[in-house]
Chain A
Amino acid sequence: MRFLIYRYNPETDDKPRMQDYDVALEPTDRMLLDALVRIKTLDDTLSFRRSCREGVCGSDAMNINGRNGLACITSVAGLKEPVEIRPLPGLPVIRDLIVDMSQFFKQYHSIKPYLINNDPPPEKERLQSPEDREELNGLYECILCAACSTACPSFWWNPDKFVGPAGLLQAYRFITDTRDQATNERLDNLEDPYRLFRCHTIMNCVEVCPKGLNPTRAIGKIKELLVKRTV
């Protein structure tokens, strides 16, 4: 199978290049990650992140034939050849398929992604109805792979100012958690021309999310809450 893979090592390369690999895959090499691991046994200089190989750790997001996705749950069978593999767009490349995710995590951290509840904890669990818990579905499952934020033109232009779909999805995860007491503070934190309102509902995030989550919907809910708050 033929692959065109983005290569760049700042120690030796002036600029990035696309390297052609033609490899014989084994029948067990079913996912793109299997193919990359196979290529690495032939050329150990090819660098990429990977861990769980089952789509839950979020390590191996990359741009595959022009679309962001996780290599470990992308079947090679469905890919058009040569398969063009590039690092996630919009973030600085450290080497080959490995990007510097600092900016992405900085935005995630900026929404205070932790439960805020200043009441003394009860002896047992805090109660939450199944319906209220249901609100967290489609939000808490995020694996922080950055496929969404790095597919978002608004994040490309303003990665330092726009929280981005991943961060906003998590912002809503805590806003809507009935156990959290900081809703107003969280909304204040987002009421800003850039942090929230740079989302122009292009919906690339929804299109690429490997977990089938919908950041655009969560962003819409936050906007609704802001409107509600002013009336």
Chain B
Amino acid sequence: MGLPVRTFDAVIVGGGGAGMRAALELARADLRVALLSKVFPTRSHTVAAQGGVAASLGNIEKDDWHWHMYDTVKGADYLGDQDAIEFMCRTAPEVVYELEHFGMPFDRLPDGRIYQRPFGGHMQEYGRNPVQRACAAADRTGHAMLHTLYQANLKVHTQFFIEWMALDIVRDRDGEVLGVVAMEIETGEIVIFRGRCTLLATGGAGRIFASSTNAFINTGDGLGMVARAGLPLQDMEFFQFHPTGVYGAGVLITEGVRGEGGFLLNKNGERFMERYAPNAKDLASRDVVSRAMATEIKEGRGAGKDADHILLKLDHLGSEVINRRLPGIREIAIKFANVDPVREPIPVVPTAHYMMGGIPANYHGQVVAPGATGPEEVVRGLYAAGECACVSVHGANRLGCNSLLDLLVFGRSAARQIIDDLKRNPHLKPLPDDAADRPLARLARLETQKDGERVAEVQAEMRRVMQAYCGVFRFGDLLKQGVDKIKEVAARAGHSGIGDKSKTFNTARVEALELDNLIEVALATMISAEARTESRGAHDRADHHQRDDANWMKHTLWYKQGNRLDYKPVHGKPLTVEAFEPKARVY
């Protein structure tokens, strides 16, 4: 096939929090690591996380990882795997202290320890009272964390391949993963990155929706690669709508605003969350708050001339608190909503934000799929961490600040598993002859496609369909139509084309390749959502209003081939503690 081949111990795809945390661990173990990122690493979307990273440090109030675990299990609406959740919550303080040691500029308490703020669903004593658990650097925690991790990687000389886009994974006949095929965006050159271990850390796919808090680059690249390689995607129906995206622009306003004491108002000036969640109020779980907001709007109590949004009031916090704890939010509100929150409320709407589903993985970061030995056979050579993975610690709804935590915990544990696996089996298998056939065929089609619809048009249609048929509230008949529509869009995507055929920094080609990935994610999301006839966490079915544990306490698996669905059990048993049995979810 004649393509250049570069060989490493481990190949990491993605330079966000998970990829860089993993790279750091591997480089410190003196392994040869290639980290591929389609943008300069500090441009990755981790940079946009605002509110904090969850860990039961107990710096302000008494806290305990068992309570954090309970909150996460409950927040997940009992669909999360309790072994993985225990692992994450127990490890949280350690990875946060480590991050501080790397140089993270956390805000501080008078005694010098890390500042923590309240956040949605973070409670003491198994759900009793709110607790300050979110470790924060103003409202720029993701930015501070991503830069800190990049800096720490510079110190250990991690090898970065910047503006390289991975196109497909290389999988041999035994199902083992041997690396990725990638394109250097600046030159269009195609290279096989061969590695004993390949870690996907490609982030989310919020760009399947018309209105999203996500960056342009969040196109589900790892998920597309995995789906094309014949592996399933898990729990894709669970997509979190963040309560507070800026009305019109979609830009995120952190839950930390409500953590610091802000609250939501309808057009009558009523603090309506008191009705929906009498105890936690504005700091209930995100799915609960988003649904309450959508209900207010649906029932005609939205604000504005079209009664189509909600107001987030924070002026009562005073300019001192706003400038110290929420400076970035003030900047965003002034730029994107034309309001200064020191004086006026910010217009907000629930906005697509986070993908709870993803590439099925265990808490060691190993990708798993049904096989001869059971529903969770390890796919040799392949690992996944961060938003692209479904471990599943977020279940049907993620708690705020658990995503930055997820990156640190599972970025590190995937790297540690890779170090172990490399010790056990350092031998590289030969590349199959057809290693690069799939990506080369995708590129060739784009080269020769004539009279195709423009990629941008198809992408816009996909985003419109997902928004209209698979949003905050879901309806059986709309989902059915949505499945047909998204399949239609997928067929159109297969014939879409680009005008730009240049080799040099061809961003039209990049967008076309990203569309392939988005389409897989959109299909998986819509089809999985249509099949799940219950309401759980972020998945709310108007025609099946209750959670149905008897029939649906199980993870969905979607396969690209034939859009087939399969299911597997939830891990109800934690590692060392008693299980939390499902009960009604009240905030």
Complex contact B155–A114 (CB within 8 A): yes
Nearest residue (CB) in B for A72 is B335
Complex contact A58–B217 (CB within 8 A): no
For B477-491 the 0/1 string (1 means CB < 8 A from A) is 000000000000000
Chain B residue total in the interface (Cβ 8 A): 62
B107 surroundings in chain A (CB, below 8 A)? 130, 133
Cβ 8 A contact of A30, one of B42, B249, B456, B511: B249
Q: Is B563 an interface residue (CB 8 A)?
A: no
A141-B331 CB under 8 A given contacts A11-B502, A109-B154, A115-B102: no
Complex contact B103–A45 (CB within 8 A): no
Complex contact B503–A11 (CB within 8 A): yes
Complex contact B505–A95 (CB within 8 A): yes
How close is B204's CB to chain A, nearest CB, in angstroms?
13
Complex contact A113–B216 (CB within 8 A): no
Q: Which of A15-23, A119-127, A151-159, A185-193 contacts B (4 or more CB under 8 A)?
A: A119-127
Q: Is A165 an interface residue (CB 8 A)?
A: no
Distance A75 CA – B505 CA, assembled complex (angstroms):
26
A127-B151 CB under 8 A given contacts A52-B45, A54-B336: no
For A13-49 the 0/1 string (1 means CB < 8 A from B) is 0000000000000001010000000001101110111
Q: Is A230 an interface residue (CB 8 A)?
A: no
Q: Is B248 an interface residue (CB 8 A)?
A: yes
Cβ 8 A contact of A54, one of B147, B152, B251: B251
A179 surroundings in chain B (CB, below 8 A)? 103
Complex contact B39–A59 (CB within 8 A): yes
Distance A224 CA – B131 CA, assembled complex (angstroms):
44
Distance A180 CA – B508 CA, assembled complex (angstroms):
44
Q: Which of B76-84, B108-116, B381-389, B392-400 contacts A (4 or more CB under 8 A)?
A: B108-116
Distance A113 CA – B154 CA, assembled complex (angstroms):
8
Complex contact B217–A40 (CB within 8 A): no
Tell which of A40, A45, A48 has the most Cβ of chain B within 10 Å: A45
Distance A41 CA – B456 CA, assembled complex (angstroms):
6
Q: Is A9 an interface residue (CB 8 A)?
A: yes
A114 surroundings in chain B (CB, below 8 A)? 102-103, 151-152, 154-155
Complex contact B154–A125 (CB within 8 A): no
Complex contact B105–A52 (CB within 8 A): no
Complex contact A54–B507 (CB within 8 A): no
Nearest residue (CB) in A for B100 is A125
B42 surroundings in chain A (CB, below 8 A)? 57-58, 143-144
Complex contact B110–A10 (CB within 8 A): no
How close is B562's CB to chain A, nearest CB, in angstroms?
33
Complex contact A55–B101 (CB within 8 A): no
For A70-104 the 0/1 string (1 means CB < 8 A from B) is 00010100000000000000000011101001000
A121-B499 CB under 8 A given contacts A47-B505, A47-B507, A127-B113: no
Complex contact A140–B144 (CB within 8 A): yes
Nearest residue (CB) in B for A98 is B505
Complex contact B103–A94 (CB within 8 A): no
Q: Is B274 an interface residue (CB 8 A)?
A: no
Contacting A at CB under 8 A, from B481-520, are 498-500, 502-508, 511
Q: Is A223 an interface residue (CB 8 A)?
A: no
Complex contact B100–A130 (CB within 8 A): no
A123 surroundings in chain B (CB, below 8 A)? 97
Cβ 8 A contact of B504, one of A43, A95, A115, A144: A95
Complex contact A115–B103 (CB within 8 A): yes
B558 surroundings in chain A (CB, below 8 A)? none
Complex contact A113–B151 (CB within 8 A): yes
Distance A66 CA – B504 CA, assembled complex (angstroms):
26
Complex contact B110–A130 (CB within 8 A): yes
B216 surroundings in chain A (CB, below 8 A)? 50-53
Q: Is B215 an interface residue (CB 8 A)?
A: yes
Nearest residue (CB) in A for B101 is A121
Q: Is A207 an interface residue (CB 8 A)?
A: no
Cβ 8 A contact of B502, one of A9, A113, A127: A9
How close is B65's CB to chain A, nearest CB, in angstroms?
15
Complex contact A133–B105 (CB within 8 A): yes
Contacting A at CB under 8 A, from B78-106, are 97-98, 100-103, 105-106
Q: Is B455 an interface residue (CB 8 A)?
A: yes
Complex contact B455–A54 (CB within 8 A): no
Complex contact A54–B113 (CB within 8 A): no
Q: Is B40 an interface residue (CB 8 A)?
A: yes
A133-B108 CB under 8 A given contacts A58-B42, A143-B143: yes
Contacting A at CB under 8 A, from B99-144, are 100-103, 105-114, 137, 140, 143-144
How close is B72's CB to chain A, nearest CB, in angstroms?
22
How close is B80's CB to chain A, nearest CB, in angstroms?
28
A43 surroundings in chain B (CB, below 8 A)? 499
B435 surroundings in chain A (CB, below 8 A)? none
How close is B518's CB to chain A, nearest CB, in angstroms?
15
B554 surroundings in chain A (CB, below 8 A)? none
B503 surroundings in chain A (CB, below 8 A)? 11
Q: Is A203 an interface residue (CB 8 A)?
A: no
Complex contact B502–A48 (CB within 8 A): no
How close is B497's CB to chain A, nearest CB, in angstroms?
10
Cβ 8 A contact of B43, one of A52, A75, A129: A52
Nearest residue (CB) in B for A57 is B43
For A129-149 the 0/1 string (1 means CB < 8 A from B) is 110110010001101100000
Distance A56 CA – B50 CA, assembled complex (angstroms):
10
B114 surroundings in chain A (CB, below 8 A)? 125
A128-B43 CB under 8 A given contacts A55-B335, A57-B48, A133-B107: no
Complex contact B217–A51 (CB within 8 A): yes
Complex contact A51–B215 (CB within 8 A): yes
Complex contact B455–A44 (CB within 8 A): yes
How close is B70's CB to chain A, nearest CB, in angstroms?
23
Q: Is B61 an interface residue (CB 8 A)?
A: no
For A188-224 the 0/1 string (1 means CB < 8 A from B) is 0000000000000000000000000000000000000
Instruction: Give 19 A-B contacts (CB < 8 Å), ordered by A residue.
Output: A44-B508, A45-B499, A47-B500, A47-B507, A50-B216, A58-B43, A95-B504, A115-B103, A115-B151, A115-B152, A124-B57, A125-B106, A125-B113, A127-B108, A127-B113, A132-B108, A133-B107, A136-B105, A177-B103
* Additional A-B contact list (5), CB under 8 Å, known A94-B504, A101-B40, A127-B112: A58-B42, A59-B40, A121-B98, A130-B110, A133-B106
Shortest beta-carbon contacts, A-B, top 9? A115-B103, A127-B112, A44-B508, A114-B151, A57-B43, A121-B101, A45-B500, A41-B456, A125-B100
Name A residues whose Cβ lies closer than 8 Å to a Cβ of B: 9-12, 28, 30, 40-41, 43-45, 47-59, 73, 75, 94-96, 98, 101, 105, 109, 112-115, 117, 121, 123-130, 132-133, 136, 140-141, 143-144, 174, 177, 179-180
